[in-house]
Chain A
C-alpha cells in the first residue's frame, strides 16, 4: 500500500537506497536489517517481515520523516507466532 505520495518526488538512486537501508539498520529503535528495498520508477518499495504492526508503523514514520520527498510503497508483513503443527524427524 502507498504510504507516502508527495506531490514532487525525488529521483531514486543507489545513494538514496543505501541511506534508507542504513536508517533502518542503524537507528537503534528500528534495528531492522531484514527489509528489502526495491526502486521501481519513482517509487521505493519496502518489503519483508517485522515482529509487530507497531514496529512496521514506526519504521514507515521514520522513513517518511527523513525522506519526505520519496514515494513509498510498503509491503511488510508481521511474522507469525503460531504453535508448530509438525515436527521434523531427523533419523
Chain B
C-alpha cells in the first residue's frame, strides 16, 4: 500500500506560518508523500514562497507540488520555484518524479493546467488570437501531462494538477464559472495512461470526489473543501 497526503490552495503568507505545523509534525504517521495542488501563495511573491518553504519545507516525507494561478500573479514564477526547490520541495510543471515508498514506486506527473470548460461546453481553438491562445495553453498543458503519465516507469501513477480535470468535483461552484475552473482535456490526458488517482485544487466551493470518463478517481483537495490540514489516501500498489 502507498499512503498519499494532499492539500491545495493553502494561500500562505507569513501571517499563517505555523498554522499547519502541528498536523504536519505527525505526517510520517499518516503518509509516504505530501502532494500540494497549487495556490501555495496568496499572490505569488518570493516572500510568500519563503513562508511556504518555512511551513512545508524540512518535513520527514517528500513534498511534491504544482503551482496554481495565484502563484503566477506577480510574475515571479522562476524565483518562486527556486525558493521552493531550495527548501527541498519538488515543483512539477509539465514534468514528473518518482518517489520510492515502502509500498512501491510512486510516479507523480504534475502540471498546473488551465481552463476551457468541459465536453460539449468547452471553448474552442477558433476566432480571436486571445481565444486561440487560451485553449492552446490548456491543450499544451494536457498534452504534456498525458506524455509524462504515459512515460512514467513506476508501480503507481498519480496526476497532480491545480485546475480540475472533471466537472464532478466542481459541484457547488456556479455553473457559469466552470470554464475558468478546469478542462476536459486534462481528464482526457489522465485517461490516456493507467492512472490510479488524480488530485487537484482550485475549486474552493467544489466537492471532494469525482471520476474521469475512463474511471480514474479524482479528488479535489482544495483546503476549504477538505476542511482539514490534509487528506490521506491509501492506494494498493497493484493498480
Contact = CB atoms under 8 A, between A and B. Distances in A.
Please say whether chains A and B are actual partners in one complex.
yes
B22 interface: yes
B231 A51 contact: no
Interface in A36-80: 36, 48-49, 51-52, 54-55, 79-80
Nearest to A54: B15
Contact of A51 (B10, B197, B227, B232): B10
Interface residues of A, number: 24
B16 A28 contact: no
B132 interface: no
A83 interface: yes
Interface string B190-224: 00000011000000110000000000010100011
Interface of A is mostly: loop
Is the interface on chain B under 10, 10 to 19, 20 to 34, or 35 or more residues?
35 or more
Nearest to B227: A80
Contacts of B3: 87
B15 A83 contact: no
A1 to B, nearest CB: 20
Given A49-B224, A79-B223, A83-B22, A31 B231 contact: no
Contacts of A48: 204-205, 224
Nearest to B10: A51
12 contacts: A28-B73, A28-B74, A48-B205, A51-B16, A79-B223, A81-B22, A81-B23, A82-B23, A83-B22, A83-B30, A84-B5, A90-B217
